[in-house]
Amino acid sequence: MTPHPTAVVTGGAGDIGGAIAQALSRQGYRTLITDVLPDDVGRARAAELTTRSAVRYRYADTTSATDVSAVIEHGDGPLHVAVICAGTVAAQPFLDIEPDVWRRTLEVNLTGAFLAAQAAARRMIAQEVKGHLIFISSWVAERPWPEIAAYSASKAGMNQLMRTAALELSAHGIRANAVAPGIVMAGLARTQFETEPQYAARASQAIPLGSPHTAEQIADAVGFLASPAAASMTGSIMTVDAGSSLGTLS
């Protein structure tokens, strides 16, 4: 690994994105997080996440091609790792999903992922960097879960986007992989665990190892992919879900 590698994490101010940025900083990556927070709030969050190497913040809406181009494609210096983490999820039964919610979910989770990955790859090619695109997918891309059809569809699309990018970009020495978390105590899942007893009971039964995992455990998986140990991996999905995708015996 180069002495001063650089990384960008979209959605890097959130629970999972923040844990990933912190892990990369610990590994020596100079890391830029992007999100939609005001600059002062984003800079404060970046300071919290800084460990070994500096974490910086830039505002960027990943659904905006203009924002993504300015911050990622035309950013300063070489780019070695891009973590595509920005996302949104809304819990609605299939029959109640509103078209605007469906469109917004796919716009953020799939179109946003495409724009960020494309911008990062273009920058890597322009700078002759054999970089790595790491997508944050989900176990529900492969296994249905109630009330998040839009989210599940967007993550299934992300997986195929990742595989196609891995195939096409291999000629440039650029790799693409994904981490597929299960039920993580972060974001909407954490809120539902804390406020909806029925959800907590259902989710707990869906985890063979017994309990949801942490954002830090997802960050550990990303850290592995960003390390020399994963140098021969491309087009792969690393599932980190405490066994949820296996189903249960009951």
The residues annotated as belonging to the active site are 151
Going through the chain in order, the beta strands assigned E by DSSP cover 6-10, 30-35, 55-59, 81-84, 132-136, 175-181, 237-240
Residues 137, 178 contacting (CB under 8 angstroms): yes
Which two structure tokens, joined as six digits, stand for 154?
């967007």
Four-residue CA torsion sign, 248, 237, 151, 134: positive
Q: What contacts 244, CB < 8 A, 6 or more positions away?
A: 139, 143, 182, 183, 206, 207, 208
Counts of helices then strands in the chain (DSSP H, E): 9, 7
Distance CA 214, CA 145 (A): 19
